[in-house]
Chain A
């Protein structure tokens, strides 16, 4: 089992506040790993650090064996590392279909080609069908419901056939049926070879879908293991209930 992502002694300070404190963990290729922890434990900050949205104050991050510290989100995207955001960021002024096509990547000459080629349409159609968004393909992303946006965002980061997808609270604000849909998609893409690292608060989702589970508290890794072990780890209980 190879390590696809390796984080070592990652640190991030915001003035006096230490958001991420010598945090270390690794993600195995082919896994669906969860990253959990109480509010303020630094989970999203870790995501931002890994994906190049924030510079760190120390530590290293390795993706597929090579260091990716300080590389821009675009570069990482092209290397196969993508992410979603807590607030389901989509391009409000583009249609659903265009949201997918624009995330499809492509060379410079591609830019001068047709807005949507036949291949674009086909590839996007695949994802639209899978995520049951075909009927809203021509709507602008601003016209979608919250749940639809989350699905769209998820679908768009899959357009480039990534190796590792970081999901930031995919089930937040989403109804239970849609949560199941998300879980199904995650499992099926995982079976096809995509590794997932998921920040989540929904414990039942984590229990059902993820293995292993990494626990952060106040910017440090305090536990790592399969869901059952972590659930009964006293340090974890302490972190959630203690403060």
Chain B
């Protein structure tokens, strides 16, 4: 029983990071109707950035978030302008998949040359510290990571609900045509929406780097996991992505402590299959057969 609860705690804390990463991915989907295959790569790139900032300048990765996030936002906007905007409308969806895939490869290639392929992790002073809460061990790193994830998700929520930019995004996600009629500049929204999605990747990268060892090839694993989370939550639903992140975090963590760590990685895959079989639109996704 104790191990079970321990597993749940661990799962919730880790789930927060997945929630953050997945929210960016599902946001990009909502705005551009394209699944960004490079999301994982940007998380890893940001993890490397945080790693460099830490090893070279001693900046704590969680603090580095303040640097990496605006930087990645900018990269996201520029990347969108360079690679995604010029697509002719007919081909857009199909080519977007491949373009984001190519971007992921580009990022992976650059990272592997810059950093080689050895696994890295960010070992801060509190990396091995753990708190004792009511008899359960709570790792400091995971707790801080969770707190930061929650804070950022809250920030995302505020941006989307309270700012004009956020409202424009939500309107575009709901109904792109009406949004344009209401005066929303769809190109701008797509560019900034994409940037915002990449920015969440940036923020989560720091946390990811603290929690898991990574190398340039880690984005494949990560994008697969993110897909499971996003599909469970429902494409386009940020709330769904958050909830799904925590759920999958808990399930995989419980599987790891009660069964085996290797096979717990399969949890993501199993969840994906189950969702696709039983309810492909996930928890909160829309069932639309693309009429409009």
Contact = CB atoms under 8 A, between A and B. Distances in A.
Interface of A: 14-15, 17, 40, 44, 47-48, 51-55, 73, 85, 92, 142
B291 A54 contact: yes
Nearest to A93: B90
B290 to A, nearest CB: 8
B287 A55 contact: yes
Contacts of B178: 40
A54 B288 CA distance: 6
Interface of B: 90, 174-175, 178, 287-292
Contacts of B90: 92, 142
A54 B281 CA distance: 13
A102 B131 CA distance: 66
A48 B291 contact: yes
A14 B175 contact: yes
A73 B290 CA distance: 12
Contact of B289 (A17, A73, A92): A73
Contacts of A55: 287
Nearest to B175: A14
A54 B174 contact: no
B286 to A, nearest CB: 8
A206 to B, nearest CB: 23
Contacts of B290: 53
Contacts of A44: 291
Contacts of B291: 44, 47-48, 51, 53-54, 85
Nearest to A40: B178
Most buried by A among B175, B178, B288, B292: B292
23 contacts: A14-B174, A14-B175, A15-B174, A17-B174, A40-B178, A44-B291, A47-B291, A48-B291, A48-B292, A51-B291, A52-B289, A53-B288, A53-B289, A53-B290, A53-B291, A54-B288, A54-B289, A54-B291, A55-B287, A73-B289, A85-B291, A92-B90, A142-B90
Most buried by B among A14, A48, A54: A54
B187 to A, nearest CB: 20
A40 B182 CA distance: 13
